[in-house]
Amino acid sequence: MAASPDLHVCPVTSALREAVLRLRARPGQDGFVSPPARTLADAEQCAGSEPMAILLGVTPIGYYRIEHSARGLTGLVDDADALGLRSFQLDASWQGRGLAMRAMEALLSDLAQRHPQARRLLLTVNCDNAAALALYRRAGFADSGTLYHGGRSGPQHLLWRALP
């Protein structure tokens, strides 16, 4: 039996950029997540943002961005020890295969190695995005009890997770 390809994450490089730009969400998910075609250029220009690719072997299957300061995501002053997670997504053709949790585990492992000073990871998720809420809860995120009302598609839960 052949081993499954390695799932890992890495910064979006010039060699990966075009493939990352082709990643798409499923119809109906557009209200919850902005595609890399809309956010990658901004992430590349922002010194406090890291555009990241999710790779299965050498194939880009997903994208997210890490914000060095969660303040821009939450607006809260006491988030100096926290990173922010934005735009976490798998391409529509790779969804439904059990890869999202593996991608989240790879993301968390990468953060522990590259950002050992960070103590927490924060994100917002639309209140109507049940699939994402379930994934984040399985990955150890807790609901802060605060709703963020700045999203383009309605209120969002503010979730957090301790980092090792």
Q: Please state, in angstroms and rounded to a whole number, the distance separating the CA atoms of residues 26 and 89.
A: 10
What's the confidence (pLDDT) of residue 1? Answer: 47
State the chain's mean pLDDT as an integer: 89
Packing angle of the helix pair 36-45, 14-21 (nearest 10 deg): 150
| Residue 69, Cβ density class (10 Å: 0-12 exposed, 13-18 middle, ≥19 buried) | middle
Q: Is the pLDDT of residue 76 over 70?
A: no
What's the confidence (pLDDT) of residue 72? Answer: 61
Q: Please state, in angstroms and rounded to a whole number, the distance separating the CA atoms of residues 106 and 58.
A: 15
Full set of structural domains in the chain with CATH: 7-162 (3.40.630.30)
Strand order in the sheet with 156-162: 7-11, 49-56, 59-67, 82-90, 120-126, 156-162, 142-148
Q: Is the pLDDT of residue 50 over 90?
A: yes
The rounded percent of the chain whose pLDDT value lies above 90 is: 63
